[in-house]
Every structure is written in structure tokens, then in C-alpha cells.
Structure 1
């Protein structure tokens, strides 16, 4: 793969208050535009959905920094004092919001939280792997509320975004690998922002431990280590994938 020398500079740059810098790219630009419209959303809720590692949670933290909203989780929403939760900032981030589907108590909790937000002029940012149309919630009133609110997809990061994220993560650690290292990683690592963070952290550790620069040979060793870890976990019967995987 030939990597343009100025590729990382081709993307917009968004500073997240209290969070690491956020890079705006075609894969997330629509979601960023919707967050920029807050609080002028047409409904009390906005759903941001996309695959694991696409940056949904980071977007949630960007919005949280602006709104001061607390973060809840769909898997435990039925165990939360909803009026107290919403009272903190009249806004709430709900991660894994699709996990309410099929669980009556959780569905009732999200329905109640939505209604409270509507009554009080508040807002909910719902983060989900699935589009609301695929949640298969059994509570008809909840389905109608969520489907009637806007939803925006965040796509898996493309090469341009992954390259820019890798460059930034390395820079955060005072590392300046050559573009050949970025190109090498792009063709072999899992296409997710979580994997990028794991790979850069492992390379930083390996570089310090061996007193070596971050080069393609070192990147090859680190990725091979991830692959061995994956094989060992599978061999022991643990099917949980490692945080970064080789591609191809």
C-alpha cells in the first residue's frame, strides 16, 4: 500500500474536552454533525450506531464533555434511579442501548427515561451496535419512540482515519515512526480504533523494553505476539478474541 505523506493532515481535527483528540472523517462526519446540532435535535433522543471499535463511545464522551451528561448502560438501566440520573444534567448517554431489547424491565426503563426527557426538555444519546430498526424491542411504545427519533450510523474506520489515529496515538507517546510502519500496520491489524490503541501501546512497551525504535521489524514482532496470544486463548478453550488481531 502506498501511503500519501500528508494523509494524516487531510482529516478534520476535533478536540474533545477532557478526552483525547477526536478525528473527524467521512466514516463519522454525519454523527459529528448531529452532535453539533444539539440541543436543537428534533426529538428527545439521538441514536448513534455502528460496529465495535468504530468510535461510538468516543463520540459519547465528546458529547458528554459538552452536555455534562452522566453515562448509563442499557444492560443495567432497570437498576438505575432514572429521575435522579436525568436530573444531573437533563441529558444522559446510554451505552449499549440495544441491550434493553427483549428484556421487559430494561425496555420499560428506557421508555420511562425517554418520556422523562421529553417532559423536561432533556436529551438522550443512545449508543448501539445495531440500528434502532433492528433492536426487536417487544414494547410497542418504546419501538415507536426510538424509531421516530433520528439515528445516524458511524462506519468502520477507513485507511485514512486509521492512519491518522495511529499517527496521533504514536505522537501522544512521543513516538514518530516512519510512514512505512503505518502502512505495514494498516494492512495487517484489525480495522478498529480499539485495536489501534492496543497495537500502539504494545509497540511503545516493546520499544522501551528493547531500547529500539518503532520500525517495521518491531511491528512485525508485536503483531506476531498478538497472533500467538489469540492462538493460545483458542487452544485453552477461551473464545474471546484478543484486543488486536492480524488481518489476512
Structure 2
């Protein structure tokens, strides 16, 4: 559990995962459910939808309240480690679609034990459990007891807000016209936009240049020859 046992480096929480820097757009109900969960919560969303960010923000918030928390991305934990998290005040299970056979029975027992003890589990998956071949029927049935929140894509105004806000968090000034131009040139999922912002942050630092449309266009050509 984070705060009471040492986690592998790959499973430590990133410093930038918070509710304050998450742009909810049409997903305010999902944000509210994860920030103050009354029971188990299941977030559904594709890559870059922000579901992992929300799980990590919830963990960080509970951790700040001196509660024991545990983060279990199923691509990184084995069954024994997952079982060790059963008593965490808040458990976040990420990447449910990556469930392996060794996880199935362990996760079912963990969820049942936690529910009986009124402990909260928040879960993220790319699709509803009913549509995931990796989830066995008994676990699918158990997961129907969670509140389910599909994450809807952001509209362009929210995407622009996301870019500007994340740039500010890096100490970058991203003018609205540059953010708008990026939205006309790039894939619009949040994950892709944040990746491009990382690239522009490095390019701006190396060149000691402000983020203008001409500079951004050239920087993207340098790192992505087939874009823009």
C-alpha cells in the first residue's frame, strides 16, 4: 500500500495526477463519483480518455488524508501482490482488460472481501466487462455491482483548455491560437495531445523559443516528419 509499503518504481504515482489539473468536459459525474466514492466505481474509456489519471488522482487525494491506498495496474502486478492490497482503504485497479488467468480468482476474492468490509475499489477498463473476453463470467457478474461511468470524449473547447492548462503546469505559455491550431493538425484524443505537448516542451527548452505557430509547425516537422 502506498505510504505503508514500498512499491516498484513503475507503480508509483506520477506527480501530475490530480483532480485540479483534470479537465472534466462532459464527465463531471464520473469525476464526482471517483473523488468522493460511496461504493465501487468502474470507469470505462479508450486510450487517452483520462481514466488512469482519475484513478491516480483519487489515490493521491486519499493519501493526502493519511489513508492507506494501493494502485494495481494489472499489466504490472502479479496475483500475490494484488492479494496483498486487500486491506487498503482505497484500491485502484487499472487496465482491467489486461486481466491474466492468475488474477481472476484473486481479484474476485479481493473484491468480495473489500465489499464485505465496506472498503472502496475504483476500477478502470477500456470497455465494459461484458465485452472483455479476458474477464470470466463470475467476475463479470461481480463487477455489475459497481457504479459504471463511461468517459465521453472532450469537445474542442475542453481540449483547448486541457492543452493550455497542461502547458501552464510545465511552465509553458501556450497561446489560445496555437492550441487551436494544434487541434486542427493532430489526433484529438487527450493522450496524443499530451504527448505532443511533451515534445513541444522539450523543443522549446532546447531552442529557447516561445510557442508560436511557425515554431510549433517546424518543431513538429522535426520530430514528426509526416505530420502537419
Tell me the TM-score normalised to structure 1 length. 0.74
The answer to whether the 8 A contact 1:90-1:121 is kept is no
The reply on whether 1:26 has 2:25 as its aligned counterpart is yes
RMSD: 2.5
Write the distance in 1 (CA, Å) between the matches of 2:44 and 2:142: 16
Count of aligned pairs: 209
Write the distance in 1 (CA, Å) between the matches of 2:34 and 2:77: 23
Write the distance in 1 (CA, Å) between the matches of 2:52 and 2:133: 22
The one-character-per-residue Cα deviations of 1:75-123 (angstroms, maximum 9, x if unpaired) are 3554334453122x332101101222xx432211211111111122112
Any gaps of 5 or more consecutive residues in structure 1?
Answer: 1-16, 232-245
Q: Which residue of 1 aligns with 2:189?
A: 192
Q: Which residue of 2 aligns with 1:128?
A: 125
The answer to whether the 8 A contact 2:79-2:102 is kept is no
3-state secondary structure, aligned to 1:53: coil
1:205 CA drift (Å): 2.2
The answer to whether the 8 A contact 2:17-2:57 is kept is yes
Any gaps of 5 or more consecutive residues in structure 2?
Answer: 1-14, 64-68
3-state secondary structure, aligned to 1:62: helix
Larger radius of gyration: 1
Tell me the TM-score normalised to structure 2 length. 0.80
3-state secondary structure, aligned to 2:60: helix
Write the distance in 1 (CA, Å) between the matches of 2:171 and 2:187: 23
CA 1:36 to 1:212, structure 2 compared with 1: closer, same or farther past 3 Å? closer
Write the distance in 2 (CA, Å) between the matches of 1:177 and 1:72: 34
The one-character-per-residue Cα deviations of 1:150-180 (angstroms, maximum 9, x if unpaired) are 2111122321221111111222233323222
The answer to whether the 8 A contact 1:83-1:116 is kept is no
Summarize the alignment of residues 1-248 of structure 1 with structure 2, pairs less than 5 Å apart: 19-20=17-18, 21-38=20-37, 40-41=38-39, 45-68=40-63, 69-87=69-87, 89-100=88-99, 103-137=100-134, 139-228=136-225, 246=227
The answer to whether the 8 A contact 1:73-1:95 is kept is yes
1:60 CA drift (Å): 0.6
CA 1:194 to 1:82, structure 2 compared with 1: closer, same or farther past 3 Å? closer
1:227 CA drift (Å): 2.8
The one-character-per-residue Cα deviations of 1:114-138 (angstroms, maximum 9, x if unpaired) are 1111122112111111112212356
